[in-house]
A = this chain, B = another copy of it.
Amino acid sequence: MEKEFDEMPLAERQIDSSKVFEGRLLHVYKDNIVLPNGHKSTREYIKHVGAVAVVAIDDQNRIAVEHQFRYPFHKELLEIPAGKLDSADEDPLEAAKRELREETGIVAGSYEYLGAFYPTCAYSDEVIHLYWAKDLSYGNRELDEDESINVEMIDFDAFVDMVLSGKVQDGKTQAAVLQVWTRMHK
């Protein structure tokens, strides 16, 4: 069955931009724009410094998983270690090493880059750089005073089953874990 789809121009053009909310975490902008069809419209979005997330798997095929309370959902979620860049020009690999060490105490002998993950392309410019950390050794955690995270090592194949059965809702965790499983099996 073949089907031809019409093509249309897609690009949107900025007229002006203004900051509408400046918080401790969130920086919200509202731009006036011109749509591809010439109509005027607005776009509201968040500017984000960028982040990293790490699939860390040890020599017993166990993945490091965090239990963290996520306020927008008012519940604990299961996630891979992750965190924001210190600044927009920080090397994401250095941020990945730092976040993994601080949150879990784990130091990895090697890192494989899994690519960029855009969590919310409709209303945030956040990019999360995904990594696969290997050759793990265990040290001590260094959580910030106000940071609360519990760490658990879970069999990687069992965790993939947890993703597929709906027990892991966090988006970056789903994508990064399934990227690793697919790379292992494709």
Tell me the minimal C-beta distance from A115 to chain B in angstroms.
Answer: 4
B45 touches A71 (CB 8 A): yes
A169 touches B115 (CB 8 A): yes
Residues of B within 8 A of A45 (CB): 26, 71-72
Tell me the minimal C-beta distance from A81 to chain B in angstroms.
Answer: 12
Segment 1-55 of A: residues with Cβ below 8 Å from B: 1, 3, 5, 7-12, 20-21, 23-26, 28, 30-31, 33, 35-37, 39, 41-46
Q: Which of A7, A42, A44, A121 is the most central at the interface, judged by chain B CB atoms within 10 Å of its CB?
A: A121
A121 touches B8 (CB 8 A): no
A126: Cβ under 8 A from any B Cβ:
yes
Interface size of A as a range: 35 or more
Binary per-residue interface labels of chain A (157-179) against chain B in the complex, 1 for a CB within 8 Å, 0 otherwise: 00010011110011110110011
Bound-state Cα–Cα, A118 to B73, Å: 10
A1 touches B170 (CB 8 A): no
The quantity of this chain's copies bound in the complex is: 2
Residues of B within 8 A of A121 (CB): 70, 72-73, 77, 79, 169-171
Partner of A183, one of B119, B151, B164: B164
Bound-state Cα–Cα, A21 to B41, Å: 18
Tell me the minimal C-beta distance from A8 to chain B in angstroms.
Answer: 5
Chain A residues within CB distance 8 Å of chain B = 1, 3, 5, 7-12, 20-21, 23-26, 28, 30-31, 33, 35-37, 39, 41-46, 58-60, 67-73, 76-77, 79, 104-105, 115-128, 138, 141, 145-146, 148-153, 160, 163-166, 169-172, 174-175, 178-179, 181-183, 185-186
